[in-house]
Amino acid sequence: MAASRRPDVLVIGAGVIGLSTAVRLAEAGLSVRIRAARPPQDTTSASAGASWGPYELTDARVLHWSEQTRLTLEKIAEDPSSGVRLVRGLEVAPFPLEPPACVRDLSDFELCPADELPPGYVSGWRYTSPLVNMPAYLEYLTERLISRGGAIEIGTVSSFKELAGAAGVLVNCTGLGARYLVPDDQVFPTRGQLVVVDNPGIDTFFQDWAEHEDMTYILPHGSHVVLGGSATPGSEDLTPDPARAAAIIERCAAVEPLLRSAQIRRILVGLRPSRPSVRIERDQVDGNVLIHNYGHGGSGLALSWGCADEVLALSELV
């Protein structure tokens, strides 16, 4: 449903970045509308795993953004309908690796002894992390936005110029679409595939640091488990690959044998909106303030609320 009056802010894009940003702005007292080519449940975000933890990014601001996001997700997890749960688990690497700064200061962080690691891994640590059932979470964010008077309208945007005067501030959360809308030739797709199976009794997460495009992660979400995964830079093929799905299940079953006979529910494929670094900056188009917030790659969830705070600070409307 579209609001009739001119909003303070028009957010372009309804994935996890667009929704989080819209909610943060609306809860700061601004009138907010989202325009997106697809509803939240049809975005790439709906096909994500998903767990907190930023990867594949070198931006110096990432540590702060991820910390702010973790704190917000921990608060959201208090609502059982949000799709967010706090789950303890194991993170590992097949090579010597220092734990990343974003997890070292967590209250229950602990190094894992070598004799407790799965075969093939030499580094590992345990901690509690937010795990997110993305379809439920996107619905939660949508309802939270609407409760603050926000709205989502479905429609394409072919240029920022066509939105001149549509709102006091435009916020570009178009992800992969920024390749053409900005245009930004630093944005590229990274194809990801995962497998959703019935949960055979798993209640802890597992994820590894892979040095290639095939990684291993096990993310339990109540009655189902998300198994991953893959990251193929430059590929835009959304067709599920049965061979790759079988390889994902095999890697995960090597870590947790209960998964070997788990019933497959779905195979999901999505395109991560990759970029060498996240772009969050204030711009202008035809006299309109334009704030960019895109290029998060596979760390959209992990950075979402920190980046939304950054957009709020740049908006200068509060």
**pLDDT of 90 strictly over 50:** yes
Residue with tokens 């901690």: 127
3-state secondary structure labels for all residues of 116-146? HCCCCCCEEEEEEEEEECHHHHHHHHHHHHH
**pLDDT of 315 strictly over 60:** yes
Domains contained in the chain, CATH given: 1-83+133-187+275-318 (3.40.50.720), 87-129+190-272 (3.30.9.10)
Res 55: pLDDT:
66
Question: Hey, what are 43's tokens?
Answer: 């975005």
d(CA 58, CA 81) in angstroms, rounded, equals 33
Res 278: pLDDT:
95
Question: Hey, what are 93's tokens?
Answer: 């690497």
Q: What is the pLDDT of residues 66-79, one digit of tens each?
A: 999 999 999 999 99
Residue pair 202/223 in contact by the 8 Å Cβ criterion:
no
Residue with tokens 């910390």: 67
d(CA 173, CA 151) in angstroms, rounded, equals 16
The band of 23, judged by pLDDT with boundaries at 50, 70 and 90, is very high
d(CA 131, CA 68) in angstroms, rounded, equals 16
The band of 294, judged by pLDDT with boundaries at 50, 70 and 90, is very high
- Classify 20 in phi/psi space as left (phi over 0), alpha (psi -120 to 50) or beta: alpha
Biggest alpha carbon–alpha carbon distance for the chain: 63
d(CA 215, CA 41) in angstroms, rounded, equals 25
Spatial CA neighbour of 271 closest among 190, 173, 185: 190
The band of 2, judged by pLDDT with boundaries at 50, 70 and 90, is very low
Q: What is the pLDDT of residues 106-161, one digit of tens each?
A: 999 999 999 999 999 999 999 999 999 999 999 999 999 999 999 999 999 999 99
d(CA 233, CA 297) in angstroms, rounded, equals 10
Res 54: pLDDT:
66
Res 317: pLDDT:
56
Please, what is the end-to-end C-alpha distance for the chain in angstroms?
A: 25
Q: Average of pLDDT values for 229-237?
A: 95
Res 3: pLDDT:
45
Spatial CA neighbour of 111 closest among 125, 91, 97, 96: 125
Res 1: pLDDT:
39
Q: Is 276 exposed, middle or buried (0-12, 13-18, 19+ CB in 10 A)?
A: middle
Res 218: pLDDT:
98
d(CA 73, CA 65) in angstroms, rounded, equals 12
Res 53: pLDDT:
80
Q: Average of pLDDT values for 163-172?
A: 94
- Percent with pLDDT over 90 in the chain: 90
Res 57: pLDDT:
56
Running DSSP on this structure, what letter comes out for residue 100?
A: P
**pLDDT of 173 strictly over 70:** yes
**pLDDT of 4 strictly over 80:** no
Q: Average of pLDDT values for 226-238?
A: 95
**pLDDT of 56 strictly over 80:** no
The band of 282, judged by pLDDT with boundaries at 50, 70 and 90, is very high
Q: Is 141 exposed, middle or buried (0-12, 13-18, 19+ CB in 10 A)?
A: buried
